[in-house]
């Protein structure tokens, strides 16, 4: 393979040597700094490989056929060597790009990526870091920026939202969220001041049983007109929760659940249920679809089953969506959580994932 090395005091001088010797068709494979200056590794795209191709043109005689087979074998070796050389060069280039960044920045990006955050958000979190920043200070800076972008819906703010439609996720998660939201409401109001309206033709049995046990008003409203009448019937209640059907993003504004909610004139807000174990694409799709409603905040579910909170943290930060709390089946009421608490849990999951990978590597070895 026609690979040559050229060394110059500067990168420009080394490149001039490449052009003078190999011409403008030279392919640069790598460059690195040495004690003598800049060393460039280059090869011709033509040359030995092209010669092998020309030699491999089918001939007439059997001796030429044998020669062609040898030439083809030589060509195969040349192409294999070229592929390995290019792979090594690309790997070296990727390492150089990473190494070209300030070590502190590269380390912080690596840590944020381990939390499951996307590249765009990572770039925003570290924007403004000084070149003189130490690692610990830079890490605290990035985490502080992330925490500042995750808002929390306080109990007082939630109490000020009288009618709340709980949307997103699946029926089990929505029922759990309503049950625990109602539990919080019962700590502040009498049962007669709390009501649950179900838009499902087959309401959650768990939620229905809970309402019966707690002596909470429970109504059914499978369509927009029935929902309007139900809201009138509970207008005296201080807290009203609406159980909604599954969202249908493919139907856009024609989604029956959204259409029925949007027809109501009462001061209605919505809480978006976000499963912590869901993929980022799903969360984004549901969040974008539900934006037709006045979304007041998010209820997180499935935290106990999550392997990463990166997708949820990213969504909350990008959309400035306040967290109303965490619905956990092992608890009675909705759990309050701070942005720092979410980030701490995200770090715990990231460490657990790394430990699992290390264990898998040990087993593999």
Q: How far is CA 294 from the centre of its chain?
A: 24
The whole-number pLDDT of residue 224 equals: 95
Note whether 301 and 176 are within 8 A (CB).
yes
The whole-number pLDDT of residue 59 equals: 44
Q: How far is CA 349 from the centre of its chain?
A: 15
The answer to whether residue 130 scores a pLDDT higher than 80 is: yes
Distance CA 39, CA 24 (A): 18
Dihedral pair phi/psi, residue 165, rounded to 5° = -90, 130
The whole-number pLDDT of residue 207 equals: 93
The answer to whether residue 16 scores a pLDDT higher than 60 is: yes
Please state which of the ranges 137-146, 220-229, 238-247, 259-268 shows the lowest mean pLDDT. Answer: 259-268
The answer to whether residue 158 scores a pLDDT higher than 50 is: yes
Rg, the chain, Cα only: 31
Q: How far is CA 189 from the centre of its chain?
A: 39
The answer to whether residue 361 scores a pLDDT higher than 90 is: no
The answer to whether residue 337 scores a pLDDT higher than 90 is: yes
The whole-number pLDDT of residue 215 equals: 96
pLDDT in tens, 107-124: 999 999 999 999 999 999
33 versus 40: the higher-pLDDT residue is 40
Note whether 43 and 1 are within 8 A (CB).
yes
pLDDT in tens, 275-317: 999 999 999 999 999 999 999 999 999 998 899 999 999 999 9
The whole-number pLDDT of residue 193 equals: 97
DSSP code per residue over 159-183: HT--EEEEESS-HHHHHHHHHHHHH
The whole-number pLDDT of residue 23 equals: 75
The whole-number pLDDT of residue 45 equals: 55
pLDDT in tens, 159-180: 899 999 999 999 999 999 999 9
Distance CA 4, CA 36 (A): 16
Query: Residue 7 carries which DSSP code?
Result: E
Distance CA 117, CA 146 (A): 10
The answer to whether residue 69 scores a pLDDT higher than 70 is: no
User: What CATH number labels 155-354?
Assistant: 3.40.50.300
The two structure tokens encoding residue 113: 């990526």
**Residues in CB range of 228: below 8 A, 6 or more apart:** 263, 264
Burial class (CB in 10 A: 0-12, 13-18, 19+), 5: middle
Per DSSP, the three-state class of 41 is strand
Instruction: Report the candidate in 85, 15, 5, 9 with the shortest Cα–Cα distance to residue 49.
Output: 85
The pLDDT-based confidence of 91 (bands split at 50, 70, 90) is very low
The whole-number pLDDT of residue 72 equals: 61
Sign of the alpha-carbon dihedral angle for 72, 74, 78, 81: positive
Reported pTM: 0.70
Q: What's the rounded mean pLDDT across residues 51-78?
A: 51
pLDDT in tens, 184-241: 999 999 999 999 999 998 888 889 999 999 999 999 999 999 999 999 999 999 999 9
CA dihedral 100, 102, 106, 107 (to 10 degrees): 140
Per DSSP, the three-state class of 132 is coil
The whole-number pLDDT of residue 362 equals: 63
């Amino acid at each position: 393979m026609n690979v040559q090395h050229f060394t110059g005091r500067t990168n420009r001088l080394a490149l001039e040597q490449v052009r003078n010797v190999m011409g403008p068709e030279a392919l640069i494979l790598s460059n690195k700094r040495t004690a003598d200056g800049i060393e460039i590794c280059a090869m011709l795209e033509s040359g030995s490989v092209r010669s092998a191709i020309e030699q491999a043109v089918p001939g007439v005689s059997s001796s030429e056929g044998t020669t062609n087979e040898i030439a083809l074998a030589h060509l195969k070796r040349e192409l294999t060597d070229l592929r390995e050389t290019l792979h090594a060069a690309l790997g070296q280039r990727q390492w150089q790009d990473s190494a070209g960044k300030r070590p502190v920045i590269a380390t912080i990006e690596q840590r944020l990526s381990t939390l499951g955050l996307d590249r765009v958000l990572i770039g925003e979190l570290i924007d403004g870091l000084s070149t003189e920043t130490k690692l610990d200070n830079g890490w605290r800076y990035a985490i502080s920026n992330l925490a500042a972008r995750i808002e929390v819906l306080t109990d007082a703010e939630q109490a000020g939202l009288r009618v709340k439609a709980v949307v997103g996720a699946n029926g089990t998660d929505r029922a759990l969220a309503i049950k625990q939201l109602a539990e919080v409401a019962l700590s502040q109001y009498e049962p007669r001041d709390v009501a649950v309206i179900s838009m499902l033709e087959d309401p959650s049995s768990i939620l229905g049983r809970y309402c019966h046990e707690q002596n909470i008003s429970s109504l059914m409203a499978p369509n927009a007109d029935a929902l309007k009448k139900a809201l009138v019937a509970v207008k005296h209640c201080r807290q009203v929760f609406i159980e909604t059907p599954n969202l249908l993003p493919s139907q856009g504004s024609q989604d029956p659940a959204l259409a029925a909610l949007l027809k109501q004139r009462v001061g209605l807000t919505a809480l978006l249920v976000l499963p912590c174990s869901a993929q980022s694409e799903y969360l984004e799709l549901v969040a974008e679809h539900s934006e037709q409603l006045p979304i007041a905040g998010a209820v997180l579910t499935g935290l106990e089953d999550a392997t990463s909170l990166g997708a949820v943290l990213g969504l909350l930060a990008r959309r400035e969506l306040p967290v109303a709390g965490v619905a956990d089946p092992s608890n009675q009421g909705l759990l309050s959580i701070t942005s720092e608490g979410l980030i701490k849990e995200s770090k715990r999951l990231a460490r657990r994932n790394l430990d699992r990978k290390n264990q898998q590597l040990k087993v593999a070895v």
